[in-house]
């Protein structure tokens, strides 16, 4: 097969953006150039790599196989460049991280501190729901993944780096606000507004309730912490949220945490990657940064 690195990069851009036009724009080339390179690539492989149905681009099975291989090749070449920079005493590179949506409340601060000590590192950050992050993890699209409920059906390495307490949130005017040691059974008639099925918060919440034989009355399921907080403030129900999503202005948002027996639910934030993955020097530096931050807190 006569395939060039440029063709593989353009193909990956098409695969990730789902559009030849978008890939051309992102790669700073013309659309005919991308189309021609894809055509030559398909001829080299000997099979169609994509198809267009209803103006939407889909990869064929051969295209999916090529995307996986190309991603590994480009990743290895990028890592090689970083290792050569490290041998030269340089500290530059690119860190690719995918995080679940709740992590957006604290990960920018962590990355900000990391970039202060590594000013030549570029960050590529994807913020998605848990299913989206797991999908990227399965395809090994990034250096590291951050989530609170790592998948149990994949061969992965995970490391705790931050606690993630989940609390019951109510409107500030709720009759139970300010009361101590509220029994969970007292909330049996309350309406709940919970994260969507499959989210890390929802998985932890469902497991906690099931372990105590409690069946909440679910009024709404939402995929946004901000939408949940606004709904709670409007009096539509109670919620179970990570303390990281609540911010520092609970009173301004007309919200209160309830002192419910069995809460907070104790969970953690993890860094995750596939087992056996060779981490780039930049990713290793970021993991050391997290470990040093933990030691500083403990100290």
* Residue 297, pLDDT score: 43
> pLDDT tens string for the chain (299 positions)?
788 888 999 999 999 888 899 999 989 899 999 999 999 999 999 999 999 888 789 899 999 999 999 988 888 888 788 778 776 655 677 899 999 999 999 999 999 999 998 888 889 999 999 999 999 999 899 999 999 999 999 999 999 999 999 999 999 999 999 999 999 999 999 999 999 999 999 999 999 999 999 999 999 999 999 999 999 999 999 999 999 999 776 767 799 999 999 999 999 999 999 999 988 888 998 999 998 876 554 44
Q: Which of 123, 73, 99, 105 is nearest to 285 (CA)?
A: 123
DSSP string of 242-275, one letter each residue:
EGGGTTT-TTTTTEEEE-BTT-SB--EEEEEEET
Peptide bond into 264 cis (omega under 30): yes
Exposure string over 156-178, b if 16+ CB within 10 A, otherwise e: beeeebbebebbbbbbeebebee
* Residue 89, pLDDT score: 59
* Residue 91, pLDDT score: 67
Query: What's the rounded Cα separation, in Å, for the pair 67 and 74?
Result: 10
Q: Which of 260, 280, 286 is nearest to 76 (CA)?
A: 280
Crossing angle of the two packed helices 5-17 and 61-87, in degrees rounded to 10:
120
Residue 11, classified by CB atoms within 10 Å of its CB into exposed (0-12), middle (13-18) or buried (19+), is buried
Phi, psi dihedral angles at 141 (to 5 degrees): -85, -15
Instruction: Let me know: does 170 contact 235? Beta carbons within 8 Å.
Output: no
Crossing angle of the two packed helices 281-298 and 107-117, in degrees rounded to 10:
110
* Residue 249, pLDDT score: 65
Domains of the chain, with CATH numbers? 5-65 (1.10.10.10), 91-162+268-298 (3.40.190.10), 166-258 (3.40.190.10)
* Residue 298, pLDDT score: 46
pLDDT digits (tens, 9 = 90+) for 93-122: 789 999 999 999 999 999 999 999 888 888
Torsion of CA 257, 195, 287, 125, to 10 degrees: -120
Query: What's the rounded Cα separation, in Å, for the pair 235 and 29?
Result: 52
């Amino acid at each position: 097969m006569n395939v060039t690195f440029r063709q593989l990069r353009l193909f990956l851009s098409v695969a990730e953006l789902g559009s030849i036009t978008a890939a051309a724009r992102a790669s700073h080339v013309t659309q005919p150039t991308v189309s021609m390179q894809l055509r030559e690539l398909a001829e080299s492989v000997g099979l169609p790599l994509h198809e267009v149905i209803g103006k939407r681009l889909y990869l064929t099975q051969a295209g999916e196989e090529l995307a996986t291989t190309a991603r590994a090749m480009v990743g290895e070449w990028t890592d090689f460049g970083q290792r050569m920079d490290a041998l030269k005493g340089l500290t530059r590179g690119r860190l690719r991280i995918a995080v679940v949506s709740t992590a957006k409340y604290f990960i920018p601060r962590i990355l900000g501190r990391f970039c202060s000590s590594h000013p030549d590192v570029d960050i590529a950050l994807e913020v998605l729901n848990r299913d989206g992050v797991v999908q990227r993890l399965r395809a090994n699209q990034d250096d590291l993944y951050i989530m609170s409920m790592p998948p149990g059906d994949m061969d992965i390495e995970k490391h705790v780096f931050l606690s993630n307490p989940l609390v019951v949130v109510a409107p500030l005017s709720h009759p139970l606000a300010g009361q101590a040691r509220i029994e969970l059974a007292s909330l049996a008639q309350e309406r709940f507004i919970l994260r969507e099925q499959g989210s890390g918060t929802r998985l932890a919440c469902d497991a906690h309730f099931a372990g105590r034989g409690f069946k909440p009355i679910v009024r709404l399921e939402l995929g946004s912490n901000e939408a949940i907080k606004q709904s709670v403030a409007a009096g539509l129900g109670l919620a179970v949220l990570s303390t990281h999503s609540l911010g520092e202005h609970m009173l301004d948002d007309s919200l209160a945490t309830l002192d419910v027996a069995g809460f907070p639910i104790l969970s953690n934030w993890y860094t995750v990657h596939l087992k056996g993955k060779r981490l780039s020097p930049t990713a290793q530096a970021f993991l050391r940064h997290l470990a040093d931050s933990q030691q500083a807190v403990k100290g």
